[in-house]
Amino acid sequence: MPSFLTDKCAEVRRWLAIGSDVYPDDVVTSWIRMAEEQLSTDLRVKHMIQIDTATIVVDRVPLPLDWQEIRLVRLLPGGDILRYQTPDAFYNPEFPNVPGPHPSGYPTSVSYPTRYKRYTILGNYLVVGDIDTVAGTQVEMTYYQNIPPLSDLQNNWINYYHPTIYMLAILQVASMYAIEDERGPMWTQQVNNIMTAMNARHQIDKASGSALVPVRKKTFG
């Protein structure tokens, strides 16, 4: 029977040369969760990419609960790309026309043929605009997700593919938990260095069109 989380707790204690009587699994697990949160916020790498679909209801869809950042939004079934706008630009009735004289005084019924399909984000909702939707119209969102929490029964990709930065991030959190270890500043620096290198590599991959890892597709909301 797998025990990924239990094994990781034991590994962390070995790095710190302490026993479970001093820092039991529940304490070490809290370090792991905080490290996962930090890495989810700061990392942008190919293994974080996820694809979800949702049905548009009243020009909006709920964002996935594990989303960090949107990469691409498409309209289904046609596959048209939606472009991001800030909320201010999205709700500007003159978009994309610049202010100026207009024979009918910018009535709300005017249709601008130069408008493109677009979206904005408000809280945990993705709002779409300039789309003629019918029942069942969906959007497909490609996004960066949170790192899935490590559990005994389920490994996660960062523990499998990038165990070095995972361990160092956990140790960095541990160093803030009354752990007196002279290696603390080194752990912090190494986390920053590796994270910067991983993010830079992903930017190169995006620009060069290298293949991303396979992603699962799910529905939500």
Which pLDDT score, from 0 to 100, does residue 16 have? 92
Q: Which of 143, 139, 144, 17 is nearest to 74 (CA)?
A: 139
Which pLDDT score, from 0 to 100, does residue 179 have? 73
Which pLDDT score, from 0 to 100, does residue 89 have? 86
Q: List the chain domain ranges.
A: 4-43+148-210, 48-144
Which pLDDT score, from 0 to 100, does residue 219 have? 45
> What pTM did the predictor assign?
0.80
What residues contact residue 129 under an 8 Å CB cut-off, 6+ apart?
A: 59, 85, 90, 117, 118, 119, 120
Q: Which of 38, 28, 11, 7 is nearest to 147 (CA)?
A: 38
Q: Find how far residue 3's CA is from the centre of its chain.
A: 26
Which pLDDT score, from 0 to 100, does residue 209 have? 58
Q: How far apart, in whole angstroms, are the C-alpha atoms of residue 71 and residue 141?
A: 8
Q: Cα separations (Å) of 103 from 98, 106, 128?
A: 14, 8, 28
Which pLDDT score, from 0 to 100, does residue 100 have? 47
Q: Find how far residue 123's CA is from the centre of its chain.
A: 14
Which pLDDT score, from 0 to 100, does residue 96 have? 57
Tell me the average confidence (pLDDT) per consecutive run of 10 residues in the chain, 221 residues long.
95 94 96 97 95 93 95 90 90 62 46 68 92 81 97 97 97 85 86 95 78 47 37
**Interior CA angle at 195 toward 53 and 126, to 5°?**
25
